[in-house]
Copies of this chain bind each other. A is one copy, B any other.
Amino acid sequence: MLSLLDVVSGLDVSTFTEEIYPKRQPVILRGVDIGQCVDKWRSVNYLTTQGGQMPVKIHVSATPQMDFIKKNFSYKSLPFSDFVQRASEDEHTEFFETKTENYYLRALGDDPRKDKADIHQQFPRLADDIKFPKFFPPEKLFSSVFRIASKGTQLWTHYDVMDNLLMQVVGRKRVILFSPAEVDKMYLNGDKSEVLDIDNPDPGKFPKFLKAHRHEGILEPGDILFIPALWFHNVIYKDYGVAVNVFWKHLDDSLYDHRDVYGNKDHVPYSRAQQILDRALKTLEELPEEYREFYGHRLISRIEKKVLQKDKPP
């Protein structure tokens, strides 16, 4: 099943916060002022000049479909200006693997182990070109992330634990989202789906994925995609593309992992629940396999009854 993402035009802050945000559904917001970046950044020359020579860590892949699980790409470092140059061209004179290789930047913090990406910090001469809509209190802001990639690049389907405004600045992007309710059809490995080719998934390996309800849309330059926390998303760069996204905290600070710099570490209560569950499963190891499996099913049914409200009167 497929739904097209709603496109909402000419919306103000109160409409977003009062009518759209509480629904926890993805929406494309069109016509919101995100600043001069939409004009200025169209120029590769402007971007490379203002962005500077700072080395950036990038994903480089011989095929456009990047696979985080099987790691079909390598991490390389290039000066920002060289990287943008290469990402914007279809064929490269200088390259790592092949002259048609794809590039992808997901900007990092100054110390990528400790710092969150912050476009004002890492790209001060570009940051003023972009305005973040005031759709959330400023103290809830978590990070602002530059995302630039070659035409055709496709990122693996995954979820983040924070709310997200993806501001499309240059180029068009096809976005495909799945509700958190579809989690059982996603074939997750951590926060990432094992289904790489979402338009042509292997029906033998991923039968449930074929039944997942998808929400699709095309982002045009200047569009903002609201991605609520936990919504799975897959992104395909229809053109060489530049985008910035902001993550912010929807919930209380204490519910997020404080070592998380990417916005994708599971909420603290779940990480704890997972550890506790592992201890529960450990006790089952005292039993022979047939008993263990039986009681595994009983534990699942307990979660279904207690958390998923299954088998409850409507």
Hey, which bits of chain A sit against chain B, CB under 8 A? 24, 180-181, 183-184, 187-188, 229-230, 251, 255, 266-270, 272-274, 276-281, 283-288, 290-304, 306-309, 311
Selected from B255, B294, B309, the residue in CB contact (under 8 A) with A286 is B255
Rounded to whole Å, the gap between the CB of A297 and the closest CB of chain B is 5
A270 x B295 contact (CB < 8 A) = yes
Give the chain B neighbours of A280 by CB distance below 8 A. Answer: 272-274, 276-277, 280
The residue among A184, A284, A285 with the most chain B CB atoms within 10 A of its own CB is A284
Take A277-B303, A303-B277, A311-B187 as given contacts and tell me if A266 and B295 are in contact as well, using a CB distance cutoff of 8 Å: yes
- Tallying the copies of this chain within the complex gives 2
A290 x B188 contact (CB < 8 A) = no
Give the chain B neighbours of A184 by CB distance below 8 A. Answer: 297, 300-301
How far is A73 from B283 in the complex, measured between Cα atoms in Å?
38
A276 x B279 contact (CB < 8 A) = yes
Take A183-B298, A280-B280, A299-B274 as given contacts and tell me if A287 and B311 are in contact as well, using a CB distance cutoff of 8 Å: no
Give the chain B neighbours of A255 by CB distance below 8 A. Answer: 286-287
Q: What is the chain B residue whose CB lies nearest that of A205?
A: B311
How far is A270 from B285 in the complex, measured between Cα atoms in Å?
10
How far is A81 from B217 in the complex, measured between Cα atoms in Å?
79
